[in-house]
Amino acid sequence: MRVSKGRNAFSFRSPSAWWQGVASRAVHRLWDGVRTAGAVTAERPGRLRFRSIGPGTRLAFPQGTVFGEAWIELGAHCVIAEQVTLTAGMLPGLDLGPDPIVTIGDGVVLGRGSHIVADGRVTVGRDTYCGPYVYITSTNHSYDDPGTPVGKQWPRSAPVEIGPGCWLGTGAVVLPGARLGRNVVVAAGAVVRGEVPDHTVVAGAPARAVRSWDPVRGWRPPLRTPPPLPVPDGVTPGELLALAEDSGDREPSGES
């Protein structure tokens, strides 16, 4: 039993509280072990049999809905966070033919809760990063017949292509037929359809270009933020971590 001195009185930590602390630590250790064992890699695919999965790629546990994995290609060194849905075809168990449906390039990051839902071809270029809850689909509901519930009408499909080096912010939606060029930035919550040229920033629903790169004039309109400072040569990751922790521990002095 531990005694701690408060402002005006002593407080006692009961045996039940001590056991609750022990149980909490044990549960967290167990959950860490489950997450490690449940992660999917090329060496430990579990029940999933992807068309291909590159070295260094990891699907965090728990995974979201995954089916049609025989038509899904995952590149090398991808980071696929928890609860990410990857589906090829409208239902599990379909024969989708000889060609892949979903191709994810090397170094792609899919944030927590993101979805790639593909009946038609979906390609995500290498080194593309997606924030949490991004939704990419090659299929959309149709509503041509006003007398039939929308969910019972045959959907429309069109290929989706996302170029290399893109950044899709939290909650972005990429609709069927979209084609994003190289190093495109999609703002959080944007809804993208149609073609987006290389080095363009889009925002809104529907998404519209708000900034683009001109080889002569640079970014138009100009960037409002200063460029990030490069990391000096020879600085180790440990030194960067220590610097960040030191900066976080400092209290504002109040001086102007």
The pairing of strands 10-13 and 2-5 is: antiparallel
Asked if 104 and 118 count as a contact pair (C-beta separation under 8 A), the reply is no
Q: What is the mean pLDDT of residues 225-229?
A: 81
Active site residues: 141
Percent of the chain with pLDDT over 90: 67
Phi/psi for 124 (5° steps) reads -115, 120
Amino acid at 135: Y
How far is residue 74 from each of residues 69, 125, 126, 189, 216, measured CA to CA in Å? 10, 11, 10, 25, 37
What pLDDT does residue 236 have? 81
**DSSP per position, 184-247:** -EE-TT-EE-SEE-TTEEEETTTTEEEEEEETTTEEESPPSSPPPPPPPTT--HHHHHHHHHHH
**Greatest mean pLDDT range, 7-11, 94-98, 188-192, 232-236:** 188-192
Q: Is the entire prediction scored with pTM above 0.85?
A: no
What pLDDT does residue 28 have? 86
Tell me what the pLDDT averaged over the chain comes to. Answer: 88
Q: What is the C-alpha separation between 236 and 83, in angstroms, rounded?
A: 33
Torsion of CA 106, 109, 113, 114, to 10 degrees: -60
pLDDT band at 24 (very low <50, low <70, confident <90, very high): confident
* 57-109 residue pLDDT tens: 999 999 999 999 999 999 999 999 999 999 999 888 888 899 999 999 999 99
Q: Which of 62, 83, 92, 56 is nearest to 72 (CA)?
A: 92
What pLDDT does residue 82 have? 96
Q: What is the mean pLDDT of residues 187-211?
A: 97
pLDDT band at 150 (very low <50, low <70, confident <90, very high): very high
Sign, CA dihedral 92-96-98-99, equals negative
The number of angstroms, rounded, from the C-alpha of 8 to the middle of its chain's C-alpha atoms is 50
pLDDT band at 22 (very low <50, low <70, confident <90, very high): confident
In sequence order, the 6+-apart residues with CB closer than 8 A to the CB of 168 are 128, 129, 130, 131, 134, 162, 174, 186
Asked if 84 and 40 count as a contact pair (C-beta separation under 8 A), the reply is no
pLDDT band at 250 (very low <50, low <70, confident <90, very high): low
Q: What is the C-alpha separation between 89 and 93, in angstroms, rounded?
A: 9
Q: What is the C-alpha separation between 37 and 44, in angstroms, rounded?
A: 9
Asked if 108 and 127 count as a contact pair (C-beta separation under 8 A), the reply is yes
Provide the token pair at 79: 């980071």
pLDDT at 178 over 80: yes
pLDDT at 43 over 50: yes
Q: What is the mean pLDDT of residues 163-167?
A: 98
